[in-house]
Structure 1
Amino acid sequence: MQKRIIQISFQIIIAIFLFHLSSCKAVSLFQEQSKVTHPQWSKNAVIYEVNIRQYTPEGTFKAFEKHLPELKQLGVDILWLMPINPIGELNRKGTLGSYYSIKNYKAVNPEFGTLDDLKSLVTKIHSLGMHVIIDWVANHTSWDNVWTKTHPDFYTRDSNGNFVSPVADWSDVIDLNYDNKELWTYMIDAMSYWIKECNIDGFRCDVAAMVPTEFWIEARKELSKIKSDIFMLAEASENYLHQAFDMTYNWQLKDLINKVAKGTKKASDIISYYNQEKKDYNDDDYRMVFTSNHDENSWNGTVYERLDGAAETFAVLCGVVKGMPLIYSGQEAGLNKRLRFFDKDTIDWKPSPMRQIYTDLNNLKKYNKALWNGLAGGEMKFLETGNNDVLAFIREKNNNKVLAIFNLSPTNQTINLSSPLIKGDFSILFEDGKKITFSESEKFQLTPWKYLIYFKL
């Protein structure tokens, strides 16, 4: 009897082992099938968020189109247009409503212009060698979206059968129910429409983690049949979304930057963060790094409110760390006001040193492979500074090199760097091609929030 129990137990163990082995193979195969291949044109890209409503006094596609040569000169590659669809009127917030309260997925907001105006804009963007993605709100719609009449079964209901908002504060929108697979078909069809009709290059997907990942995987597969090199950005930081998306938000770094600026975190905490990121994300997962965007600016404050005297420093940091830098509309003009979200509030375009800083950073990223995105770029090799307030690292790729040093404090700092990685001749960014030669051991004196960027091409 004991021998039979042992034999049965052994058979169970073998069965469990084979089950787990087959499960691992299945997971591995699933991940391989779901692996995103980034568009070739995104490998050294910088992304720019376009707030059409506030960009010009007119707030139209046509008025914005005139600014494209400036953006080309700035060195940005991907233009992300905030939602271009008509905005709901029922339960609207403010005078103009939220961009993210979608009334019709297959129409253009008449405040911005016509479908032909949008097509003209996309054509002009492409003619300048840039790409364009549009904001997509798949989680919810306005209360008066056309689907509330034609497909009310697409929506989540409460116990009384009423439509419900996905979040209490989002009172101007109602939740879509992805348990209904017919919704998937309609949503993917609507996304496909914009690729076919306007030749856009992809989507920035609002609150992506609130929509089933399986939907995004299916959507990516279907959209790629129309345009093989689409680009997908998730407004989320969850690593599993890289099954369907090229890029996720690096909210972790943004939050850390805010804390360093306030003095509650140190430069050394950024090192710890990136060491953890290497464990949480694959090397080829793009992360979007930023100091501002429409949400940060409107709800949490301008970069000058949140980062005080360190706003410029952290803009430069985002230009050289691992990830794709984002510039929000007006940052190159030193945007120093919270743009109203539900009303007209035109950006004050004025001369600012930030325009040249962003231009120099973007050009360096374009031509220096050390700063390229994902596996195309170099890893961050942190250098020992002996000082928790000073961050120093090297990035290298194919004989391209960037040495970055940041004093992330409001006080003077002195550090000694000793590493064979810093030895050699470098050009100094922001100093018109001026060069410098380092030995293996160098001393640096840094004023408050001082940054130094050296590079080799």
Structure 2
Amino acid sequence: MKIIKNLFLVLIAFAIVSCANNNEEFSKVKHPDWAKNKNIYEVNIRQYTDEGDFKSFEKHLPRLKEMGVDILWIMPVQPIGVKNRKGTLGSYYSIKNYLSVNPEFGTMDDFKHLVNKAHEQNMYVILDWVANHTSWDNNLITEHPEWYTHDSLGNILSPVEDWTDVADLNYYNNELRTYMINALEFWIKEANIDGFRCDVAGMVPTDFWNEARKQLDKIKPVFMLAEWESPELHKKAFDMTYSWALNGMMNDIAKKINTADKLDTLFNKLSTDYDKDNYFMNFTSNHDENSWNGTVFERLGDGAQTFAVLTATIPGMPLLYSGQEAAMNKRLRFFDKDTIEWNDYKYADFYKTLLTLKTNNKALWNGKQGGDLIKINSSNDKAVYSFVREKDDDKVFVILNLSEKEQDITLNGEEYAGAYKNIFTNEKAEFKANTELKLKPWEYLVFEK
């Protein structure tokens, strides 16, 4: 029953809060050592090539490696439900069978070959996982209807009114929990993937994810990304959560709803609410943002690259979505075929420069492995955001004009003083205390030493 499920989730939430007040009840997630300086790239297999399959995408691996990509987050690869399907091809997130591969993408052997080739390129692969719901023609509905959420009349429900193509799973049932953990383990053992991106993770009880992570780590150290924004998920289950608040803030700054100085409020809240070793995924686009809210150019306009620099240099792990390196400026259709137009990979060198810096400069490493963000105040903090990050002998100095107007500013203090190299031009630069600068509209400057 829906009421029973909701009551159960409330009790779980109460238990989590109670445990949070007793620190001995929680152990921190141990990140895989390899994740400390990594970035992430979301792969939309359906739209990546005309063929829309694993083999065709695999040909892009050398290019992505050259660009500096580390972690491949592959959108769901399982068969898609037909019953109540939306569009001609359906939603990737309407899973018909958790243990097989969508034949439109290829075979299980094709997928395993792709994973192996990625590993040969020293890249890692995480698979998108949909634990909250299934398609209406998933065999589990007929074999185990008690695993689903029902209304007072016994009808199986969708998790959200508009999600008519999927049926809600009920984690009150322990047999469902066991099945789902076994399914997660299957992909680690069978395909040797390195972790999961978990769809609407906060709609599934946290204690399920805690147990799943515990069991998966027994097989190999995994990397877990939650599509959610909650400190609780970091404690036992997830390495990284979404930085939706940052994405919304960037959109608002671009639309002049907010000003650059409001970033301080956001960063201060994050540092208060989260542990320093929690990872945030910083992004200007992903499959949801692109398809439903607009391309980066629709939302961020001429500031798209400037905000990309921000996501790559503040604490957190930067995400690229398929096509961003090609300056893709169209909303990809979500339920139908809509191939990315690659053209000349206009921004490949831009992203390569940022991702290389992320990899090599310890100041930008993830979690406690990286340096703290130290804000540099200026004569116009409402338009310009500047900061330094430093770790051991590495330092990064960033200046961003987050406005469409030219800015004449003075950078206060001397925290940034010293000799640097501009990462985009390789030119040397030296800064003294209270430096004066003229910035072009949306100009970004990144210096390292």
TM-score category (smaller protein): over 0.9
Q: Please say if residues 379 and 412 of structure 2, whose CA atoms lie closer than 8 Å, have aligned partners that are also in contact.
A: no
What TM-score, normalized by structure 2, do the two folds share?
A: 0.94
- Return the alpha-carbon distance in structure 1 between the equivalents of residues 143 and 158 of structure 2: 19
Structure 2 letter corresponding to 1:421: E
Runs of 4 or more above 6 Å deviation: 23-26
Q: Please say if residues 363 and 370 of structure 2, whose CA atoms lie closer than 8 Å, have aligned partners that are also in contact.
A: yes
Q: Paired residue for 1:241, among 222, 227, 233?
A: 233
1:53 aligns with 2:46: yes
1:412 aligns with 2:415: no
Displacement after TM superposition at 1:412 (Å): 1.0
Q: Please say if residues 309 and 354 of structure 2, whose CA atoms lie closer than 8 Å, have aligned partners that are also in contact.
A: yes
Q: Please say if residues 89 and 97 of structure 1, whose CA atoms lie closer than 8 Å, have aligned partners that are also in contact.
A: yes
Q: Deviations over 1:238-297 (max 9, x none)?
A: 111112100000000000000000001011001111011100111000000000000000
Displacement after TM superposition at 1:420 (Å): 2.6
Structure 2 letter corresponding to 1:110: P
Note the aligned Cα RMSD (angstroms): 1.1
The 3-state SS of whatever aligns with 1:94 is coil
1:268 aligns with 2:287: no
Gaps of 5+ in 2: 1-17
2:281 corresponding residue in structure 1: 288
Q: Deviations over 1:377-424 (max 9, x none)?
A: 011000111211110100000110000011111111111113332221
Q: Please say if residues 312 and 354 of structure 1, whose CA atoms lie closer than 8 Å, have aligned partners that are also in contact.
A: no
1:95 corresponding residue in structure 2: 88
- Return the alpha-carbon distance in structure 2 between the equivalents of residues 335 and 174 of structure 1: 33
- Return the alpha-carbon distance in structure 1 between the equivalents of residues 377 and 238 of structure 2: 35
1:401 corresponding residue in structure 2: 395
Displacement after TM superposition at 1:25 (Å): 9.7
- Return the alpha-carbon distance in structure 2 between the equivalents of residues 155 and 398 of structure 1: 52
Q: Please say if residues 80 and 102 of structure 2, whose CA atoms lie closer than 8 Å, have aligned partners that are also in contact.
A: yes
Q: Give matches, 1:56-95, under 5 Å.
A: 56-95=49-88
Structure 2 letter corresponding to 1:311: A
1:14 corresponding residue in structure 2: none
- Return the alpha-carbon distance in structure 2 between the equivalents of residues 179 and 91 of structure 1: 26
Q: Please say if residues 74 and 355 of structure 1, whose CA atoms lie closer than 8 Å, have aligned partners that are also in contact.
A: yes
What TM-score, normalized by structure 1, do the two folds share?
A: 0.93
Q: Paired residue for 1:220, among 201, 213, 232?
A: 213
Displacement after TM superposition at 1:438 (Å): 1.5
2:11 corresponding residue in structure 1: none
- Return the alpha-carbon distance in structure 2 between the equivalents of residues 133 and 145 of structure 1: 23
Q: Please say if residues 155 and 174 of structure 1, whose CA atoms lie closer than 8 Å, have aligned partners that are also in contact.
A: yes
Displacement after TM superposition at 1:441 (Å): 2.6
- Return the alpha-carbon distance in structure 1 between the equivalents of residues 272 and 434 of structure 2: 31
Which range moves more in the overlay, 45-54 or 145-154?
145-154
- Return the alpha-carbon distance in structure 2 between the equivalents of residues 435 and 40 of structure 1: 33
Larger Rg, first or second structure (1 or 2): 1
CA distance change for structure 1 residues 386 and 58 in 2, over 3 Å: closer, same or farther?
same
Structure 2 letter corresponding to 1:354: Y
2:321 corresponding residue in structure 1: 328
1:116 corresponding residue in structure 2: 109
Q: Give matches, 1:382-393, under 5 Å.
A: 382-387=375-380, 388-393=382-387
Q: Please say if residues 19 and 26 of structure 2, whose CA atoms lie closer than 8 Å, have aligned partners that are also in contact.
A: no
2:416 corresponding residue in structure 1: 422
The 3-state SS of whatever aligns with 1:346 is coil
Q: Please say if residues 78 and 132 of structure 1, whose CA atoms lie closer than 8 Å, have aligned partners that are also in contact.
A: yes
Q: Please say if residues 29 and 238 of structure 2, whose CA atoms lie closer than 8 Å, have aligned partners that are also in contact.
A: yes
- Return the alpha-carbon distance in structure 1 between the equivalents of residues 95 and 45 of structure 2: 16
1:200 aligns with 2:193: yes
Which range moves more in the overlay, 217-226 or 23-32?
23-32
The count of residues paired between Structure 1 and Structure 2 equals 430
Structure 2 letter corresponding to 1:166: P
Q: Deviations over 1:301-327 (max 9, x none)?
A: 000111111111111111111110000
Which range moves more in the overlay, 283-292 or 343-352?
343-352
Displacement after TM superposition at 1:352 (Å): 4.1
Gaps of 5+ in 1: 1-22
1:15 corresponding residue in structure 2: none
Which range moves more in the overlay, 218-227 or 347-356?
347-356
Structure 1 letter corresponding to 2:45: I
Q: Give matches, 1:118-133, under 5 Å.
A: 118-133=111-126
- Return the alpha-carbon distance in structure 1 between the equivalents of residues 231 and 311 of structure 2: 20
